Chain A
Amino acid sequence: MGKRLPEQLTRLAIVVGILAGGALVVRFLILPPTLLDVRFQQAATTGRWAAREIKYAGATACGQCHDEPVSTWKKGYHKTLSCETCHGATARHTGDPSVKPALPKERQFCLLCHAYDPSRPKGFPQVNPVLHNPLKGCTTCHKPHDPVPPEVPRECSACHAQITNIKSVSPHALIGCTTCHTVPPKHKVTPRTIKPTKPETREFCGQCHGRDAPRKDTPKVDLATHGERFTCWQCHYPHMPERP
């Protein structure tokens, strides 16, 4: 044994030891394991999140009172919409019918979905808000619950605006849609069920672009050697072919 530890250090060590020992006793002997289980905390939090107020009543709630609009809506083109897509959150209305849900009649509201936008999927009905009956409310011609166009579109561009815009600046601008697509008349009534035809073979394009084609002004290829295993539209986009 060397020099004894100073008296103050011994006392300090005793105090620290007692405190540490006390903490260990509380942690392992006094506190039951369930109080340390984080799942209690989580169960309480999950309960709090689950108890939040519902604002949107859900698609099944409306039909319990509103028979007529719901039965119309179910058959129309807007059947993929929920009532609350346009009418807003209605949970308060289901509890107290005197609270009226929203009734958007403005042109701008319909245009949220139906204004022309190049990023929208092809075939989605879109209009150019500047050209399509400006200043008129949409509901004067279209019924929102059953939105059939008041007259069958005469031209492809009414629905296929994106393709029309692309084609109008391409080398194929002067070729009509029906040169390549055969359109059954019923396509204009049920566009998604009855579809126009598309060219199926390389020889179709070869009528203008084959080596022996009669036209003078078209770029020509030899169909026998030019990309023979593939169809033309695997590399060239027919609505906007690259310029030679």
Chain B
Amino acid sequence: MTTSVDLGCYVFGIVDAGARLSTPLDIPLAAGLRLVEHDAVAAVVSTPPADRPLGRASDLLDHDRLLADLVVSGTAVLPMRFGTVLPDDETVAAELLAPRQEDLRHQLEYVRGKVQFTVKARYEQEAALREVLAERPDIAALRGGDDAGFHQRLQLGERVVGALEKLRATDAPALLEELGGGPDHREHPPAAPDDVVHVAYLIAANESDGFVRRVEEAGRQRAGRIRIRLMGPSPAYDFVGDN
């Protein structure tokens, strides 16, 4: 299919004007990577593929990887939401950068020299379920194996979920306090009943090692009961755009 429509600009994020971009050969979404500048700020844009829609798994990974590379190399960057496409470079400058230059500079200052770490803690499911059963005879009594009726299973599941919430009410605050992190963190509501915490931290890059050690220690103390997953350093995904 040939088309005369503009290829458009895929926008990865916002950086300082004059920021150095290396050209990543192994990130297809970054084809034609360039800066579109307006005064002190610039957008990192590429030319998206013309022969297929965006939104593949590989596009998501590319988006994240390019931004993560920038952040790890010390560049202050405000990630755009995945999937942002504008018609052309002029539109990027005139409609994305120019009208909110002040705000973008402000936000760049906020994230400068910092990286995001994301901590997800989840109960080891089997251990947590056994804990619940040991403490709650009423729940243990509802177990029925395969021959349990629908309503009994529903009631069992509902009580188990409720019991996990109670466990979390104790475990989550304790873990959060141990991780510290000061004011720069964003808590997400649990996505599943056996989640303990899901929280993003904005950490000064030179304090990363100390933070990672705190997470390690928290994980060590909870081994076998709560599993901790640590992601980062990444761009400040959770700390931009609140205006």
Our verdict on whether A and B bind, yes or no, reads no
